[in-house]
Structure 1
Amino acid sequence: MFCHTVDTPFRAPSFQQIAARYRHVPDASAMLEGKLRLGGRAHWGDMAMPSAAGRGGGTLSREDAHVLVQWVLRQ
């Protein structure tokens, strides 16, 4: 929760903004899960998403990434 909040943009878009953009996009879940685990280029401005290890959280399993992304997409 250092960069994202549920409902207000902070350093990055809110979870509600992410859900609104990707909720109905085919294959968005897989893309977001990969980005959460491995990091990726910026989609919302200049800041790229760091990998889980780059965020100081160690590795993130595929299963945990899936659970987190499904939670975000329900916001």
Structure 2
Amino acid sequence: RIVGVRTNLALHKQIIQAPAFVAGTYDTSFMARFRFDVGANTSEEVCHDLAAITAVTYLLRRRVGSTVVPERMKTGWHRSARR
């Protein structure tokens, strides 16, 4: 069974009803500031799933040893300089 977002119509509806959008005072950073009301058109079950996914993602990113290695440290130059 394939699951996922069936449509993003609810998102678009909320965007065009946002006061800044209606007033025409939006710019390229509008979506970064826009807060989509997930609960408005989402079942309680889906909200619980989203909360669980968010919690797991947070924990995985906080896990010890999950650091990001900078590109400069991936080269042989950096490793050989430390010997």
TM-score (norm 2): 0.27
Please identify which structure carries the higher helix content.
Answer: 2
What is the TM-score when the length of structure 1 is the normalising length?
Answer: 0.29
